[in-house]
Structure 1
């Protein structure tokens, strides 16, 4: 079943967006201090996604970010660099990758179905750990998920050099392991963490997989994480060499993908 058909049904009874706030650049040390674990992942010279440190040497992002846009190849591991807390050209810590795994059930040439969104998750292993005293990682949300307020920290087109935070947006609904949000995302926001704030410091509820546009309204989509992250850690442990491409990436459903790696679908 195609995602757009599902999305129409889901948003009919979704949470009201009256409490959704606007996106704000984290342009001071104080405003950015709590979000240093969110960084920009550069692929080659011109492509990037957002990602989050979840362990001293592990970065969580979206699976489709690991594929070269418009190409039949995955990005070489040695072309991937993570810049934790990047702001105005300065990062709290920068590391190269020594391993990367897109979820084995993610289909990079498949349509934007709930199943594909649910597996659009990847882990990048860094060549050197980042000190937890310098950059405390975020934990994965492993509690009950209900519609309601969340927040997002991301990079994106026209805001690639500093984090932006949407203090409150809404998780509108869930179908299986896929979720719909009204959070403000754009190209480059793929892999951005969606935070719950139920118990003190935010925990990562989902990462942004892509965006749909319906009747002039943007809706972002993400996935339930705990089981996917466990599976990806197993994939990384089994890696003996950097991943090699096995499938082609093409645009799907009339959408387009630019050199930032984000996926957009327009009905």
Structure 2
């Protein structure tokens, strides 16, 4: 008598008992060769995490319920698995599979017992799954995207680990140890920083004038399009409490960012209806002198501070009191070691001199560096920001008022 594996039995049943359907139960086909290869590993494997680059997304939009939680995940997937894992758990321990990308990805895994498991957002927009008692056998893995691919398949890092999902990622992101503290947003300088409420997202921003807020450009715009409109700025937000708040009446995004010159120009200005900066104060935007840069490189300069609304501390402002300075890099990048996560985009890196707080950078993104000990945190250095402020009297940038219709020129 021939014995079939559970996967083969299910596959045979689907073939023998198939019924025509406009929306098949399972569109993803585990019998196809995996696009980005396969690997066989045993529990306790090294290196941990074991990772590879894949291209996410596909042309098939499907919704899957997770076999354990029942949570439903919607994404755009390829038909064939992106990767195939043959796993031997004989050494014991959990198995984690997770994805890191600058795009919103969705993870789909079919396990040796033919069950479907999915996750959308586990660490920010990055998905992850953990199997405490992993089965032996074949794991077929799809890395999808939440948005339609439209022929554009974003890069992603697919990792497999014997630790909790993103454990190594957090160690890299925090440069070995999380130095963030919860700050008091009712007190200066933290009350000048606030929560930027967007129509479909959120970021951090900082007052740089009575009615002007500085934040990250990608919070509003991507690939030359305004993707979400700013709604309100809430200074000193703290779990529903706040110091001051104002609707946002307009915005300015640099023309270079809108034209796709992303490096160096990931910043934007928001215009407030009410001048709440007169109430709580604001920070200056200045460049560092050559002497200050030399002092920072030597570790003798003033403390570099940062604060924002990290996604893992919902409603709380967390900050760094003394971030290590790395360098002023090419294309207006300030490379630093402030402990930041998603949600900190648009948060200020600032110093205090002569009783004033000076913004020297705006948090932009993290470059994943899986072959290095730590990732690379990148802020937009203040030089281009200052230049843009001088040029705003001209025609540079995408400027608009906030409304329900199309963008119109601002009168600010």
* TM-based fold match above 0.5: yes
Aligned 1:115-264 pairs, distance under 5 A? 116-132=262-278, 134-144=279-289, 145-146=292-293, 147=297, 148=299, 149-176=303-330, 177-214=332-369, 215-232=372-389, 234-235=391-392, 241-242=400-401
Residue segments in structure 2 that go unaligned for 5+ positions in a row: 1-173, 408-412
Q: Partner of 2:401: helix, strand, or coil?
A: coil
Query: Number of residue pairs matched?
Result: 216
With normalisation by structure 2, the TM-score equals: 0.47
TM-score normalised according to structure 1 size: 0.70
Q: Which has the higher contact order (CA 8 A, sep 6+)?
A: 1
> Using the alignment, how far apart are the partners of 2:392 and 2:314 within structure 1?
30
Structure 1 residue runs of 5 or longer lacking an equivalent are 1-16, 246-267
Alpha-carbon offset, residue 240 of structure 1? 7.3
Counterparts of 1:161 and 1:85, CA distance in 2: 10
Q: CA–CA distance in 2 between the matches of 1:228 and 1:28? A: 25
What CA RMSD, in Å, does the superposition of the two structures yield over aligned residues?
A: 3.0
1:87 paired residue among 214, 217, 238: 238
Q: Deviations along 1:182-226, whole A, 9 cap, x unmatched?
A: 111111111110012344333110000111232241321112224
Conserved 8 A contact 1:211-1:220: yes
CA distance in 2, matches of 1:174, 1:241: 31
Contact 2:251 2:400 in 1 (8 A): no
The change in CA–CA distance for 1:172 and 1:210 in structure 2 (over 3 A counts) is same
Whether the 8 Å contact between 2:191 and 2:235 is mirrored in structure 1 is: yes
Distance 1:65 1:35, change over 3 A: same
Larger radius of gyration: 2
